[in-house]
Amino acid sequence: MNPAPTYYLTTPIYYVNDVPHIGHMYTTLACDVLARFKRLDGFQVKFLTGTDEHGQKVQKAALAAGLAPHEFTDRVSANFRGLTQAMGFSNDDFIRTTEARHIHSCRALWQRLVERNEIYLGTYAGWYAVRDEAFYAESELVKAADGSRLAPTGAAVEWVEEPSYFFRLSAWGDRLLAYYADNPDFILPESRRNEVISFVRSGLQDLSISRTTFDWGIPVPDDERHVMYVWLDALTNYITALGFPDVESEDFKRFWPADLHMVGKDILRFHAVYWPAFLMAAGIAPPKRVFAHGWWTNEGQKISKSVGNVIDPHALVDRYGLDAVRYFMLREVPFGSDGDFSHRAMIGRINGDLANDFGNLAQRVLSMIAKNCGGAVPQPGPRTAEDQALLSAAAELLPQLRAAIDRQAFHVALTALWRVIADANVYVDRQAPWALRKSDPPRMRTVLYCLAEVIRHLSILAQPFMPASAARLLAQLSVAEDRRTFAFLVPEHALQPDTALPAPVGIFPRYVEPADGADA
């Protein structure tokens, strides 16, 4: 028997100088959908998330909170772990960069780079943005209205001069460009790939990878006056979780190189330039893909703490429901582009796509079966061309969804699902089973059977996106929990006539504004 194919995907590890917000939820949600899809498709999945807990920015945040850094990071990391639990994310591991396993892994990677003459001691003098934990060249800076210099992200920069260890990044430009050329899907979407190639072609400078002006970090082996640059530390988490430096460990051999690092577009450079260079320099294969998604605005406005329009994921779910939020965030905008959260758009998706389209389809079909077929899966008769066309459309969904999911085109996958939902609703109206009940009961039973079987397909395929709602629908079709994987989307596992069904209950309620009409 062939072993199950493997799939390793990661979120970025989230920086613990703040509370979780919609951006953190969005990245992890995309990975959760992908992980669930692959598991249902027979893959052995490892899905990693966690928190990035070192660096000057964290040390400053801890000081501002009146806490020692380790107390501060314990508290804030727990908030991120709580988010994964509240949102029902299915991650297999949650890593913290303050864990002993990670410190051991980072020091081992550093040692490998030293042994390969990829690190040398020098002096850093240049611009550094604490907020970004990033170094910037003079040419990258922009001028503020008051004439001061800012990072291209708008972060304040400060001039830093200190002893530093450097990674020989300048030697890796041509090899990175060759890797991008040989692996055209390494960076997606395409627009982000072009940005990275342009940056590398402009010339790479050696990278400062240690600091001496603060001490909240992993000490450099054999020179503990230095702590490792937070990005070298953070990126290493992806191999720490597989048992590095034990490259013979079962997990490392099985899952590395990673299939996907999911990141926000603001940290693409670290993942698509620095990380593959570190790995190749250490004799380790780079990941297969880095996907950089867009940012969210709130009712057309940039999200900002100073404006006070930060979106709390917990409040969002409390108001609209978890599956509705999951659906909206991956359907509303093409994944990879920027998106805008608006109350009106959210209600449109809940009441239109979920309640009117999918919910109404399931409710009226299951209600007609309960009322006219003795509450059991009806016995079908001969199929017409229209019956077969609808069943075929449902059967053809899985390869379409696989292709979309493998390119992280979640919106394309959901559009394909809703196309068949629309087809099914048209079919109901054309066949009019409520009229057939009197004129041709056997035909009515065939129509309702075809519709129930299509709903089974749709519900199985909707599980990665809306797990709780899909599970309730499958329960209403009496589909056993061990028969809900994609392997059961074949005719021999179709619904069995005369299977008793429970009384139908609505799955996707309409959203009704609170009495005060308050907006989000």
What average pLDDT does range 341-358 have in this prediction? Answer: 96
Give the whole-angstrom CA distance, residue 511 versus residue 279.
49
Residue 134 has pLDDT above 90, yes or no: no
DSSP state of 379: -
Alpha-carbon 108 to chain mean position = 29
What's residue 306's pLDDT?
A: 65
**Taking all residues of the chain, what is their mean pLDDT, rounded to a whole number?**
94
What average pLDDT does range 225-252 have in this prediction? Answer: 97
Burial pattern 449-463, b for ≥16 Cβ within 10 A else e, equals: bbbbbbbbbbbbbbb
Residue 164: pLDDT band with limits 50, 70, 90: very high
What's residue 23's pLDDT?
A: 87
Does the predicted model carry a pTM greater than 0.85?
yes
Residue 517 has pLDDT above 80, yes or no: no
276 Cβ contact partners less than 8 Å away, ≥ 6 residues apart: 176, 179, 286, 287
Give the whole-angstrom CA distance, residue 119 versus residue 220.
12
Residue 352 has pLDDT above 80, yes or no: yes
Residue 185: pLDDT band with limits 50, 70, 90: very high
Give the tens place of pLDDT for each residue, 294-321.
988 888 888 776 677 788 899 999 999 9
What average pLDDT does range 174-184 have in this prediction? Answer: 98
Residue 519 has pLDDT above 50, yes or no: no
The full set of domains in the chain, from first to last, is 343-493 (1.10.730.10)
Burial of residue 257 (CB within 10 Å: 0-12, 13-18, 19+) is: middle
Nearest to 512 by CA among 251, 358, 320, 383: 320
Maximum mean pLDDT: which of 31-35, 57-61, 510-514: 31-35
Residue 520 has pLDDT above 50, yes or no: no
What whole-number percentage of the chain has pLDDT above 70?
A: 98
What's residue 1's pLDDT?
A: 67
